[in-house]
Structure 1
């Protein structure tokens, strides 16, 4: 197995101060960035803080910014970098730093709790739920989310404007609202309008930056956010849709 020394630059610090520290580190064939971070912990930086779990791209724990791009460290292969290219690893920029590469992502848990859960229809027992396969397939894509929060981190609505966090759920949780809004058995009410009025859907200007960084390749913008915006507009301003909602009790009134 061939190996070589590679120049890594890793952010070290806490919520008060920090800096980028340079490390020459051995890299072996077939390794990913997380392998190198673990080797740094074992050799030159035993106190380096990093969050990780599965190392298989399914837990979302090892999110970081690698050369300025939000990525999973376990899914970023070292052979994608030139041997002379400096690899800079920094914490997610949109969330407060706890220490080194570990950030406080509790913002996302707060937003998750604000989204009303699936509301089953009255008079239908769980074993009696029936859905057409086309309805299952429509929202199945969104269930692949591993909650790495890369989409939340890269969304410029919160990345560049800290003051928006209170009013904006972010792409991950607007996608959750879209999934529930598409569910034919959800009896919660008008989730699209709720997303617009209570969770900041209007802040999203569909730049697709969330879709670009999703490690599960979910088409967040095209398949969730844009349809949710269209439904919100229809239900608020289209008189025929408004009447249909009233007739079929989609508005909950």
Structure 2
């Protein structure tokens, strides 16, 4: 009865060396503690024992103690981890375990940090935009689409990926322009959602969330307790779609000439009257490359992607100038998608009347 022992091993509990950061926003220091550790315990168990014995004023967040709430995020031997999921058996018996608060966020006291940065970024992220006319509860989508983004919904918002990301960990000045891995996968999830009607998730991630700052070192993936492939399945696909849209010369040029639903058609392909185009434009219609018939009903179907019997316009050559040169313009986009070949003195968007999508002599050949 005199010696406490563990039921599983039948041996006395051992004292282990811990080094805990103590302090607040004004400063602090690492303090050494010798704490009793039983077999099967995790770091959070030891923190609780320390609070019950030598350091009753030690501040530490925790809630579920089951790896599902993300509250007990801390840095253990320099690695961001969950205290409740880090077993003491993973350390050598004579090893000193150092526990510090998340380095990227301001310290409140001891192991508690101010993670409000993440909630501010959450509020800035546009919410799911449901299709018009569909009531909540009536949304329907294929199981394959559910599974595609389900991985990202496993996030418990422990913010370990946020604190390990060196873009803000080493550069405080980047926080205003950088949302971080947790909100990149939120943007990716909504971009993959078949019912989300907000079309510019990729553009928003690039322009507002700072997607371009990420250089895919995969640190966020390594520390994720839910084993979400943040980089491979979320960030990299988003970056690829942004790059395709902006910098791939073929995709870029094609999107400029045949931008679905965005580019007003100001000259017509052969066999159609320009009056039909202007009449459609007067009704607020915008022609897509798919809607070659210039019929309002067919065009509406083409915009929705269901006009399987549409008239497809014959391929046309892009317009050339009097010297036979092809002037690459940004057409009607509100800003250059890449460095402009005309220099910095060209303003965008170009007036629609200055655009010509058809070769001027195409009907002579």
Q: Does 1:91 align with 2:101?
A: yes
Give structure 2 stretches of 5+ with no counterpart. 1-5, 263-287, 289-302, 305-365
Alignment of 1:182-193 (within 5 A): 182-193=192-203
Quick one: distance in 2 between partners of 1:244 and 1:56?
48
- Aligned residue for 1:122, secondary structure, equals coil
The equivalent residue for 1:173 is 183
The equivalent residue for 2:165 is 155
Alignment of 1:31-46 (within 5 A): 31-46=41-56
* 1:209 maps to which of 198, 219, 239: 219
- Aligned residue for 2:162, secondary structure, equals helix
* 2:236 maps to which of 205, 226, 244: 226
Structure that is richer in helix per residue: 1
- Aligned residue for 2:228, secondary structure, equals coil
Quick one: distance in 1 between partners of 2:260 and 2:77?
50
CA contact (8 A) 1:31 1:78 kept: yes
- Aligned residue for 1:6, secondary structure, equals strand
Quick one: distance in 1 between partners of 2:108 and 2:138?
47
Quick one: distance in 2 between partners of 1:233 and 1:116?
21
CA contact (8 A) 1:193 1:236 kept: no
Counterparts in 2 of 1:126 and 1:241: CA distance versus 1, 3 Å: farther
Q: TM-score, normalised by structure 1?
A: 0.95
The equivalent residue for 1:111 is 121
1:132 deviates by: 1.3
The equivalent residue for 1:236 is 246
Please, which moves more after superposition, 19-28 or 223-232?
Answer: 223-232
* 1:124 maps to which of 123, 127, 134: 134
Counterparts in 2 of 1:132 and 1:101: CA distance versus 1, 3 Å: same
CA contact (8 A) 1:193 1:235 kept: no
1:124 deviates by: 2.2
The equivalent residue for 2:21 is 11
1:163 deviates by: 0.2
1:94 deviates by: 0.1
Structure that is richer in strand per residue: 1
Quick one: distance in 2 between partners of 1:164 and 1:58?
29
Kindly report structure 1 stretches of 4+ aligned residues shifted beyond 6 Å: none
- Aligned residue for 1:120, secondary structure, equals coil
Quick one: distance in 2 between partners of 1:144 and 1:244?
34
| Number of corresponding residues | 250
RMSD: 1.5
The equivalent residue for 1:200 is 210
Q: TM-score, normalised by structure 2?
A: 0.66
The equivalent residue for 2:174 is 164
Quick one: distance in 2 between partners of 1:181 and 1:53?
32
1:245 deviates by: 6.3
Quick one: distance in 2 between partners of 1:224 and 1:54?
27
Quick one: distance in 2 between partners of 1:96 and 1:88?
19
1:234 deviates by: 2.4
Give structure 1 stretches of 5+ with no counterpart. none
Please, which moves more after superposition, 229-238 or 14-23?
Answer: 229-238
1:128 deviates by: 2.9
- Structure with higher Rg: it is 2
CA contact (8 A) 1:151 1:210 kept: yes
Quick one: distance in 1 between partners of 2:110 and 2:261?
50
- Aligned residue for 1:5, secondary structure, equals strand
